[in-house]
Chain A
Amino acid sequence: QVQLQESGPGLVKPSGTLSLTCAVSGDSISSVNWWNWVRQPPGKGLEWIGKIFHSGSTNYNPSLKSRLTISVDKSKNQFSLKLSSVTAADTAVYYCARVGGYSSAYQYFDSWGQGTLVTVSS
């Protein structure tokens, strides 16, 4: 059974860079799945951030693309998120999530991390 665990600073200063890592266990990061980030501002709905395949191929939400980098570390079986030039609007619970497979038919989120709250504040 796959498990995902987010980690990273819970507080980031405005204009700084938000950095999170998702450690994967129970599945190989080199499997046929895409690995995703999703966020949820306090009391609000869900927003897809982007995804990465173990080859390094990525797909980003255009609303964040200019500030976003998602990378993968196969040696550590983990993937990471970097979001630059953050503002208070980036305050949210950040989830990492796995989709059901490689093709379009499987891009639903079947496994999630517990989420980590990141607050942007000085």
Chain B
Amino acid sequence: EIVLTQSPGTLSLSPGERATLSCRASQSVTSSYLAWYQQKPGQAPRLLIYGASSRATGIPDRFSGSESGTDFTLTISRLEPEDFAVYYCQQYGSSPYTFGQGTKLEIK
């Protein structure tokens, strides 16, 4: 199975700053089938990005995704207070679908 490793484990930033979250796959992800989710305490995850770089419906354009080989990046251009949460990447190119361990984005 494909192992996804997210870094950093915790990212401490201030509102208005730029956030860069990384997700590295242990092998090639078929056709860039990688998604990003945001999860707040007590809530289900919310889809942000699919296909490595396509924003889901209703997601603000400050969220963007990119890829370079087996490295995927979620960028939040200017952090809003509601963006502080845990972020997960997920590959769906091969079964079993797998998630990264998460990056916690906290207020500095």
User: Digit string of B68-108 for contact with A (CB within 8 Å is 1, else 0)?
Assistant: 00000000000000000000101011011111111000000
Which of A46, A63, A99 is within 8 Å of B96, CB to CB?
A63
Which DSSP category, helix, strand, loop or mixed, fits chain B's interface? loop
Number of residues in A with C-beta < 8 Å to the partner? Answer: 22
Q: Do residues B90 and A104 form an inter-chain contact, with CB atoms below 8 A?
A: no
CA distance in complex: A63, B1 (Å): 11
Which of B47, B90, B93 is within 8 Å of A46, CB to CB?
B90
Which of A95, A107, A113 is within 8 Å of B97, CB to CB?
A107
Q: Do residues B45 and A113 form an inter-chain contact, with CB atoms below 8 A?
A: no
CA distance in complex: A104, B51 (Å): 11
Q: Do residues B101 and A108 form an inter-chain contact, with CB atoms below 8 A?
A: no
CB within 8 Å for A105 and B31 given contacts A63-B96, A113-B44: yes
CA distance in complex: A63, B96 (Å): 9
Q: Do residues B44 and A48 form an inter-chain contact, with CB atoms below 8 A?
A: no
Across the interface, name the chain B residue whose C-beta is closest to A113. Answer: B44
Of the listed residues B1, B97, B98, the one surrounded by the most CB atoms of chain A closer than 10 A to its CB is B97
CA distance in complex: A109, B97 (Å): 11
Q: Do residues A48 and B102 form an inter-chain contact, with CB atoms below 8 A?
A: no
Q: Do residues B98 and A48 form an inter-chain contact, with CB atoms below 8 A?
A: yes
Which of A46, A62, A105, A113 is within 8 Å of B51, CB to CB?
A105
Q: Is the C-beta of B21 less than 8 angstroms from some C-beta in chain A?
A: no
User: Smallest CB–CB gap between A7 and chain B, Å?
Assistant: 15
Across the interface, name the chain A residue whose C-beta is closest to B31. Answer: A105
Give B contacts to A, CB under 8 Å.
1, 30-31, 33, 35, 37, 43-47, 50-51, 56, 88, 90, 92-93, 95-102
28 A-B residue pairs with CB within 8 Å:
A45-B101, A46-B99, A47-B99, A48-B90, A48-B97, A48-B98, A59-B95, A61-B96, A62-B1, A63-B96, A95-B45, A97-B44, A99-B92, A100-B50, A104-B30, A104-B93, A105-B31, A107-B33, A108-B35, A108-B47, A108-B50, A108-B92, A109-B47, A109-B90, A110-B50, A110-B56, A112-B46, A113-B44
